[in-house]
Structure 1
Amino acid sequence: MPKIKLVAMDIDDTLLDDKKNISLQNKTAIQSALDDGVKIVLSSGRTFNGMIEYLDELGIEGNDQFVIIDGGGVVQTVSGHIIYQQTLSNAAYRKIDKYVVDNGLHYNAVDVEGNTYTSNRDFIDKYTVLQAFENNKGLIIKSPDELPNDFEIVKAILNEDGSKLDAITPEVNDLFGKNHYVVRTDVGFLEIMPQHVDKGNALLHLADHLGIDIKNTLAIGDGANDIPMLKQAGVSVVMENAAESIKEIADFVTKNNNESGVATAFEKYVLN
């Protein structure tokens, strides 16, 4: 088996347990890999601010360590140097906002600096509040008309309870799927991103930047937005807590996120 030189790892329900903690076993395995010179890349739909505490806890820092953020829209060093970035145009942002307003839906958008925006004024849904909390930059309530004409976003996130998102997902795909990447990232999150933006393409860009053959990479995840990354990586590891359809594409199904499944995968493929 090729030597693993880079591990791209989802955060929520993968690295973290259900209490949003990193287990001692996971932390120890990751530190051992870092000591061996393996690149450990947190790859998440979160913004950079939403993962800082975990990077700090793992001791991942500097201009020679990297993160994939915003679902693959941005690849940057931990110290903040951007090596790859894709955005949605102002016109696309306005089209999404119009759809939300016309249909009485709730959403937020994230800009290149990790700020959270919404044009919802009468009611701010719990998922938008959570997004703003994780981003740790507050919530900006403005419509596109109140923003600069060249204002662009990394992604928009439709936020509704699960059953409502189930109902509107086909229509959202019909309206935006042809020219954008539409993916359900959690129960209350339906994300719209630039076309061809996903964790898989981000991994390819990063591996190329580092001169690492894609066969020497390993990806670990559990969700639908991890699928492109799992398919691109040389080795794909899926958490036991993932859906069966995602487990089908795995080279290895590891233990669940409450049983230090990341450490188990590292012991099998990385620390050898």
Structure 2
Amino acid sequence: MSNIKLVAMDIDDTLLDDKKNISLKNKLAIQKALGKGVKVVLSSGRTFNGMIEYLDELGINGDDQFVILDGGGVVQSVSGKIIYQQTLSNAAYRKIDKYVVENNLHYNAVDVQGNTYTSNRDFIDKYTVLQAFENNKGIIIKRPGELPNDFEIVKAILNEDGPKLDAITPEVNRLFGDNHYVVRTDVGFLEIMPQHVNKGNGLLHLAKYLGIGIDDTLAIGDGENDIPMLEQAGVAVVMENADDSIKKLADFVTTNNNESGIATAFEKYVLN
């Protein structure tokens, strides 16, 4: 019989298929798990607004259900109670903005309310537009100096096409990696977050809050920013569509995101 009491899962390329839909099989498996009292936790680099439609579709709601947001920067109940939150200081925000401006790069920053900021006035890149669209809050075009001196952000996201991000990643790690968590979350997204913020620590904080042993947790993901969560969880499930380097962390490689890989994992570990 399964001992899994909490499942933390990535959204993009994990829960969702390539058309950004949740399959019926995935939905039914999740709802069966919820009916058994298992906590099913969406864990994503997205803000809360970027999750709402999927939470609603799955029937995950209320004070006793939880989400891990902003790559682990915020852990909260679906009803909005903050369990854990970490931000980047105003000084760190200014340093990142200075680097972006001096190197003619594109980026956006996200605050604790899920607002999207950028200092790029001449051209707003497609990735920032996508971020703002998911957050459903528009884009605020301001430099850090135009905001209050104590204004802090959850994370900054450098947005460039893949080859350019590949080229600048070593320098970004050299400049910011010692005091921050730097992670590539998708082709056009290189994120800078507080040093100890990641999905794995978010999972640890939530499990402790709920009184659930980490051995009784399961994590499912496919990307680089899922690695800390996969390493922390009692059971690590990796999508078949993940890179081989991430599959090496798996206790089980499930089917891909277009073949209801979530349902396959639930049937093996949660619903048995």
TM-score band, normalised by the shorter chain?
A: over 0.9
Deviation for aligned residue 1:2: 6.0
Question: TM-score, structure 2 length as denominator?
Answer: 0.99
Deviation for aligned residue 1:104: 0.1
Which residues of 2 match residues 157-176 of structure 1 at below 5 A? Answer: 157-176=157-176
Which residues of 2 match residues 79-94 of structure 1 at below 5 A? Answer: 79-94=79-94
Counterparts of 1:261 and 1:202, CA distance in 2 = 23
Corresponding residue for residue 29 of structure 1: 29
Residues 2 and 215 of structure 1 are in contact (CA less than 8 Å); yes or no, is this contact kept in structure 2? no
Counterparts of 1:83 and 1:205, CA distance in 2 = 8
Residues 93 and 153 of structure 2 are in contact (CA less than 8 Å); yes or no, is this contact kept in structure 1? yes
Corresponding residue for residue 69 of structure 1: 69
How well do the aligned residues superpose, as a CA RMSD in angstroms? 0.6
Counterparts of 2:145 and 2:106, CA distance in 1 = 18
Residues 2 and 216 of structure 1 are in contact (CA less than 8 Å); yes or no, is this contact kept in structure 2? no
Corresponding residue for residue 144 of structure 2: 144
Counterparts of 2:58 and 2:141, CA distance in 1 = 34
Corresponding residue for residue 209 of structure 2: 209
Corresponding residue for residue 125 of structure 1: 125
Corresponding residue for residue 231 of structure 1: 231
Corresponding residue for residue 52 of structure 1: 52
Question: TM-score, structure 1 length as denominator?
Answer: 0.99
| Residue identity opposite 2:169 in structure 1 | T
Corresponding residue for residue 187 of structure 1: 187
Pairing 1:252–2:252 present: yes
Counterparts of 1:85 and 1:72, CA distance in 2 = 8
Return 5+ residue gaps in structure 2 as ranges.
none
In the TM superposition, what whole-angstrom CA distance separates every residue of 1:214-254 from its partner, at most 9, and x where no partner exists?
Answer: 00000000000000000000000000000000000100000
Percent identity over the alignment? Answer: 86
Counterparts of 1:31 and 1:112, CA distance in 2 = 29
In the TM superposition, what whole-angstrom CA distance separates every residue of 1:18-61 from its partner, at most 9, and x where no partner exists?
Answer: 00000000000000000000000000000000000000000000
Q: Which runs of 4+ in 1 moved over 6 A?
A: none
Return 5+ residue gaps in structure 1 as ranges.
none
| Residue identity opposite 1:234 in structure 2 | G
Counterparts of 2:120 and 2:55, CA distance in 1 = 32
